[in-house]
Structure 1
Amino acid sequence: MATQREKDAADYLQKHQIMELFDNLTSMLFFYRPDNPREFLVEQLKQLKLSKQTGVNQQNLFNNSNLDAVIRILDPANQSYITYAQYKHALTTLGIKDINESPEGVHEDKISHETFKSEAIEGLQRCSSTYIKSDV
């Protein structure tokens, strides 16, 4: 049974999205592999603070060219669409938890590249937006 202190600690971590913050920072370390990790982390925290102040997310591991590469893997025949199953699996693999279950094209089982990229970018921004509630 959790003590009140443990519950308070868990509530604090959740309220300030501390675990998400550490997950994002750790992912960025693995992705960029900077020569000076401490300096890199300080810079990322500064960018998070700026994001909170401006309301514009400055961080994202995936850009358009990364998403284009994902699309080329999902649609090697270049049909201009992917299936709903591919869409859902790819977004989940990218770490997006709250997937739009009814994207444009779902009823035809043809999700356009543009729809996939739009959903991916929005989902990735939500995933990495630890600045929204945090006190960084």
Structure 2
Amino acid sequence: MATESKELGPRETEAHEYMEKHRILELFNNLTTQLIYNRPDDPKKFTIEVLERLMNARTAHREYPCVFDDSNITSLFGMLDPTQTGYVSYQQYAEAMTTLGVKNYDEEPDGKDIDRIQYDVFMAEARKGLIQASATFAVPSQ
């Protein structure tokens, strides 16, 4: 059975553009992740608190609510580098970014040419990507 590709009508196109512009899917993904990870007793109150933190982060450009913190990134790097060489392969780096939910990471990081991505490069890219993913709005370039 062949699947037909359906073109979007003007209202659907407008809706998709609106959702992309305002990062609606990222917002709901962030809220859902936060709820599942934290499992608060009062999910509505918790959701309001997360939204308030997002608003404050947008104003102050810092402390975006995110499930992963530096200790999680460090742990992930440690799992990929069990012999503590201080670097991982480019493939490990790329897969780790995907695992963390980082969509836009540097595909040509320092060390790619020798297939050795150092911890500091890994950490910087993970942080930057998590900020972008968690902010649920456009974050100014840093």
Normalising by the residue count of structure 1, what TM-score does the alignment of the two structures yield? 0.90
> Aligned residue pairs: how many?
133
Q: Aligned match of 2:105 in 99, 107, 116?
A: 99
* Residue 56 in structure 1 maps to residue 77 in structure 2: no
* Residue 72 in structure 1 maps to residue 48 in structure 2: no
Aligned residue number for residue 14 of structure 1: 20
Confirm or deny: 8 A CA contact 1:49 1:131 kept in the other structure: no
> What's the CA shift for 1:124?
0.7
Distance 1:117 1:66 in 2: 10
Distance 2:107 2:16 in 1: 30
- Segments of 4+ moved more than 3 angstroms: none
Higher RCO (C-alpha 8 Å, min separation 6): 1
> What's the CA shift for 1:62?
1.4
Q: Aligned match of 1:23 in 29, 36, 42?
A: 29
Normalising by the residue count of structure 2, what TM-score does the alignment of the two structures yield? 0.86
Aligned residue number for residue 42 of structure 2: 36
> What's the CA shift for 1:58?
2.7
Distance 2:77 2:61 in 1: 29
Distance 1:85 1:77 in 2: 17
* Secondary structure at the counterpart of residue 128 of structure 1: helix
Aligned residue number for residue 117 of structure 1: 123
Q: What whole-Å deviation, never above 9, does each CA across 1:78-124 have from its counterpart, x for those lacking one?
A: 11111111001111111111120111111111111111111101111
Confirm or deny: 8 A CA contact 1:74 1:82 kept in the other structure: yes
* Secondary structure at the counterpart of residue 96 of structure 1: coil
Gap regions ≥5 residues in structure 1: none
